[in-house]
Copies of this chain bind each other. A is one copy, B any other.
Amino acid sequence: MGNSFGQLFKITTFGESHGAAIGVTIDGCPAGIQLDEKFIQSELDRRKPGQSKITTQRKEEDKFEILSGVFEGRSTGMPIAILIRNKDAKSKDYSHIADKFRPSHADYTYEKKYGLRDYRGGGRSSARETAARVAAGAIAKLFLKSIGVDVNAYVSKVGDVSAPHYTQLDISKTESNIVRCPDQKTADRMIELIDSVRKDQDTIGGVVTGIIKGTPVGLGEPVFDKLHAELGKAMLSINAVKGFEYGSGFHGTTMRGSQHNDEYIKEGNQVKTKTNHSGGIQGGISNGEDIYFNVAFKPVATIMKDQQSVDKEGNEVTVSGKGRHDPCVVPRAVPIVEAMAALVIADFYMIGQSGKLR
> Is A113 part of the binding interface, using a Cβ–Cβ cutoff of 8 Å?
yes
| A163: min CB distance to chain B, Å | 13
In angstroms, how far is the closest chain B Cβ from the Cβ of A324?
A: 14
Q: In whole angstroms, what is the CA distance A264 to B8 when docked?
A: 32
CB distance from A41 to the nearest CB of B (A): 17
Once the chains are docked, how many angstroms separate the CA of A233 from the CA of B14? 23
For the complex, give the distance between the alpha carbons of A68 and B21 in Å.
7
B224 & A5 in contact (Cβ 8 Å cutoff): yes
**Contact A222 B124, beta carbon cutoff 8 Å:** yes
Kindly state whether residue A56 has any CB partner on chain B within 8 Å: no
Q: Is A96 an interface residue (CB 8 A)?
A: no
Q: Is the CB of B284 within 8 A of A114?
A: no
Which listed segment binds B: A42-50, A69-77, A165-173, A176-184?
Answer: A69-77
Interface centre among A33, A223, A228, A250 (most CB of B within 10 A): A223
Contact B31 A358 (CB under 8 A): yes
Q: Are B78 and A314 in contact (CB under 8 A)?
A: no
Residue-wise, chain A 231-254 has the 8 Å CB interface mask toward B (1 for contact) of 011101100001111111110111
Chain B residues within 8 Å of A299, by CB:
252-253, 255-257, 259-260
A190 at the interface (CB under 8 A from B): no
Q: Are A109 and B358 in contact (CB under 8 A)?
A: no
A26's nearest neighbour on chain B, judged by CB, is: B14
Task: Tell me which residues across on chain B come within 8 A of A262, comparing CB atoms.
Answer: 103-104
Which B-chain residue is minimally distant from A81 (CB atoms)?
A: B14
A10 within 8 A of partner (CB): yes
Among B14, B204, B248, the residue within 8 A (CB) of A79 is B14
- Cβ of A350: which chain B residues have Cβ within 8 Å of it? 354-355, 357
B-side contacts of A64, CB under 8 Å: none
Please tell me if the beta carbons of A249 and B243 are within 8 angstroms of each other in the complex.
yes
The reply to whether B287 and A108 contact each other, CB–CB distance below 8 Å, is yes
For the complex, what is the distance from the CA of A354 to the CA of B355, rounded to whole Å? 8
Whether B358 and A67, one on each chain, are in contact in the complex, defined by CB atoms closer than 8 angstroms, is: no
Interface string of A277-294 (1 = CB under 8 A from B): 111001111110000001
Residues of B within 8 Å of A129, CB to CB, are 223
The complex places the Cα of A314 from the Cα of B299 at a distance, in Å, of 48
- Taking CB atoms, residues of chain B closer than 8 Å to A314 are 266, 269, 271
Q: Which of A260, A273, A305 has the most CB of B within 10 A?
A: A260
Q: Does A101 contact B (CB under 8 A)?
A: yes
Shortest Cβ gap from A135 to chain B (Å): 14
For residue A218, CB closer than 8 A to chain B, the reply is yes
A35 part of interface (Cβ distance < 8 Å): no
7 more CB-based (< 8 A) A-B contacts, given A1-B28, A3-B79: A2-B27, A20-B65, A20-B67, A110-B285, A205-B254, A261-B303, A350-B355
7 pairs from A and B in contact (CB 8 Å cutoff): A109-B284, A204-B257, A206-B253, A207-B253, A242-B245, A242-B250, A353-B353
